[in-house]
C-alpha cells in the first residue's frame, strides 16, 4: 500500500457549534494520537478524505504545521443519513515497524454448491494481518468457484503475500456454502375450523362448545360454589 500525502492544520474549534462553520468552509475535524504522545486536534479537507477512502488509502504522511507525521487511518465516523464523514482518527505509525490491521477478502467465482441448492454465506471476510504499513495488501482475492455444498474456506487457506502474516486464528471460517432450507408455514385451517365450530355452538342454546373454543357469549364457565 502506497503512502499518500495529506495536508492538515491544527484545530482550535471544539464542540458542535464551533465545528459547524468549519464544515461550511470544507474542513472536517480529525485527531492524531498514539506512540505515547499527546493527541493533536486537526482539521482536514472533507472532499480529500472522501477521495482517499474511495481509493482505499490508509497510510498517510500528514503535514501539520510544516512537520510530517506518518499515520494510519484508523477510523472514520459517518453521518447516518447524509453519509458525510463526521470525524477521522489517525494513529501515529513508524513506517519501519509492522502493524496489525484488518483487510477484506474479496470472493471471486460462482460456487459449485449453489447449483446443488446452496447459498454462499460470508462469515468473516475481514481478516487481521501483520506487516509493514507499506506492505498492506491493496486487494486479497480468493476463488470460491470450486466450493461444494457444506464446504468452507478457512483463514489459513487465504493466500497472502510473503511479507504479510496472518493474525486471525487459522481455523476461522471465512465463508461457506450452506443448503437453503425452506421454512414451512403453519397451517391455519385447524384453528379456523375450531373457531367456526365454537361460533356455531355459541349460537345454539344448550350446545357444548368445541375443545379450545370460547363458551357461549364469550363468558368464562361458572365455577360451582365450594361445599361447606
Does the residue 104 lie in any domain? yes
* Secondary structure (DSSP) of 8-58: EEE----SHHHHHHHHHTTEEEEEEEETTEEEEEEEEEHHHHHHHHHTT--
* Nearest residue to 150 (alpha-carbon basis) of 127, 173, 169: 173
Range of the domain at 88: 4-96
Flag residues of the chain having pLDDT under 50.
228
Dist. CA 53–CA 44, nearest whole Å = 13
Same domain, yes or no: 120 and 158: yes
pLDDT number for residue 19: 81
Residues 6+ apart with CB under 8 A from 172: 123, 124, 127, 154, 155
Q: Quick check: is 173 in a domain? A: yes
Please indicate, yes or no, whether residues 43 and 126 belong to a single structural domain of this protein: no
Q: Which residue bears the cell 356455531?
A: 200
Total-model pTM? 0.72
Write down the pLDDT at residue 193: 61
Q: What is the pLDDT of residues 151-179, one digit of tens each?
A: 999 999 999 999 999 999 999 999 999 99
According to the model, what pLDDT value does residue 145 have?
96
- State the pLDDT at residue 159: 96
Residue 46: predicted pLDDT: 96
Specify if 223 maps to a domain: no
Query: What's the rounded Cα separation, in Å, for the pair 166 and 129?
Result: 5
Task: Tell me: do 20 and 90 sit in the same domain.
Answer: yes
| Predicted local distance difference test score (pLDDT) of residue 113 | 94
Report the pLDDT value the prediction gives residue 224, as an integer from 0 to 100. 57
Look at residues 57, 80, 96 and tell me which one is the last residue of a structural domain.
Answer: 96
User: Does a structural domain hold residue 44?
Assistant: yes
The count of domains in the chain is: 2
Q: What is the pLDDT of residue 83?
A: 93
Which pLDDT value is given to residue 180?
83
Give a yes or no: residue 202 inside a domain: no
- Given 79, 96, 113, the domain boundary residue is 96
User: In the prediction, which pLDDT does 51 show?
Assistant: 96
Domain containing residue 33: CATH number: 2.40.240.10
Do 30 and 54 reside in the same domain of the chain? Answer: yes
Domain holding 108: CATH number? Answer: 2.170.120.20
Amino acid at each position: 500500500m502506497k503512502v499518500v500525502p495529506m495536508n492538515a492544520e491544527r484545530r482550535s474549534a471544539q464542540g458542535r457549534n464551533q465545528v459547524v462553520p468549519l464544515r461550511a468552509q470544507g474542513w472536517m475535524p480529525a485527531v492524531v494520537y498514539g506512540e505515547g504522545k499527546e493527541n493533536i486536534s486537526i482539521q482536514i479537507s472533507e472532499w480529500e478524505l472522501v477521495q482517499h477512502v474511495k481509493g482505499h488509502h490508509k497510510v498517510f504522511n500528514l503535514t501539520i504545521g510544516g512537520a510530517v507525521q506518518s499515520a494510519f487511518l484508523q477510523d472514520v465516523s459517518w453521518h447516518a443519513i447524509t453519509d458525510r464523514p463526521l470525524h477521522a482518527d489517525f494513529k501515529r505509525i513508524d513506517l519501519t515497524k509492522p502493524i496489525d490491521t484488518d483487510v477484506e477478502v474479496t470472493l471471486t467465482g460462482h460456487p459449485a454448491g449453489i447449483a446443488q441448492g446452496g447459498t454462499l454465506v460470508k462469515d468473516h471476510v475481514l481478516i487481521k494481518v501483520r506487516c509493514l504499513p507499506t506492505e498492506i495488501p491493496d486487494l486479497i482475492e480468493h476463488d470460491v468457484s470450486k466450493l461444494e455444498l457444506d464446504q468452507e474456506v478457512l483463514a489459513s487457506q487465504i493466500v497472502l503475500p510473503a511479507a504479510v502474516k496472518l493474525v486471525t486464528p487459522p481455523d476461522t471460517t471465512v465463508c461457506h456454502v450452506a443448503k437453503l432450507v425452506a421454512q414451512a408455514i403453519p397451517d391455519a385451517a385447524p384453528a379456523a375450523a375450531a373457531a367456526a365450530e365454537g361460533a356455531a355452538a355459541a349460537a345454539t342454546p344448550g350446545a357444548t362448545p368445541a375443545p379450545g373454543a370460547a363458551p357461549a357469549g364469550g363468558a368464562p364457565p361458572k365455577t360451582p360454589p365450594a361445599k361447606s
